[in-house]
Structure 1
Amino acid sequence: MSTFVVFDLEFTTWHGALEQDWGAPGQLREIVQIGALRLREDFSVAEEYEAVVRPVVNPQLSPYFIELTGIEQEMVDREGVSAAEALGDFLGFCRGQSVLSYGNDMVVLGENVGWARARGEDVKHGFLAAHFLNIRPWLNAVAPETENSNVGRLWQVLGLPRPAAGKEHSALFDCYSFAAAIKHLCGTGAVLPVGGIRR
């Protein structure tokens, strides 16, 4: 049975950063958490991936980020791995898969791979062995009520049962919300825009 991956990222942010497109001096979208699910064709979970990452340029998380995500500085200091290690592991997890995001998270992923390599760090694996696709436009077209929703609220907007323990803006919880939305929409007849995945 073939599988595919859904993923979500949490990255450094500050009050007003989204509106300014992270344009203030020193503000970079450094990944702090990666969550991913490998899903079977029936949308059941085959495997989970989760990593906490230590940011380099801004190692101290902003109070805004902590409040938004619930990720504490102590957690990052204690459990965080280097960006190169997390990125390489994640790209290995995605190898040979269609990899779906709700938004352009692959752009942030690419920025972080570029920064790690520019620092001389070895990022194992690469993008070419996986097919990354932002399916937010498809999902919003199929279910217009989701247009203004973040990924962690999709289950709520679609009136679905809570998909997992946790809360929105936790990368793995957001993946479960995303997966629940895809499963629901495909169950109502929508066709996921990814070759080889049918339901």
Structure 2
Amino acid sequence: MIAIVDYGAGNIKSLQIALTTLSIESTLTRDETVIRDSNAIILPGVGAFQDAMHQLRSDNLDKILQEQAAAGKPILGICLGMQLFYETSNEGGLSTGLGLIKGKIERINANVKVPHMGWNTLQIRRNKHITTNIPDQTYVYFVHSYYATDIDNDDLIATSQHGENIPALVQHNNIIGMQFHPEKSGDVGMQLIKNFWEMVS
């Protein structure tokens, strides 16, 4: 079972539908015991970094996520959920994240359209299980104004070009982040979710 962390920020319904379509059991929860007992965790998210971290801390979910990450449980972060994995963000002023992956979150360069919204291609940089049956230059769906920078190159799995190379898919051991929305990315997104579940099971 996958625990979807409920902290008031997310496109939850479409994610739940995608998991159900793939016959993957999931539950939306903020219950610490349910999260600990799950096989894997998804941290979704749409909204502002500071607000999201404040809510996670208020519910003690930051500590649970850090604990479960250290225990080796597979955790997938989607969009804002991926950004929360990093050390800091300058969205709305400097604030600290979960610190599960090295790097920081900064605003996309104003020389290009912000937010980065719509379909864009993935450039696969490194083949991992998460990229199984995912062709290079395939399209996925983005909606974001901030991106990860100063990251460890070994964590970078795929990028997308939007003025510069945007980290689109990252993995640090058991922690996987997708800057795009797999649940809105058609067959490619479904394959990515399936790949994540296969890593779990």
Q: TM-score per shorter chain, which class?
A: under 0.3
If each structure's strand is expressed as a fraction of its own residues, which one has the higher value?
2
Q: TM-score, normalised by structure 1?
A: 0.27
Q: TM-score, normalised by structure 2?
A: 0.27
- Structure number with bigger Rg: 1
Greater relative CO (CA pairs within 8 A, separation 6+): 1
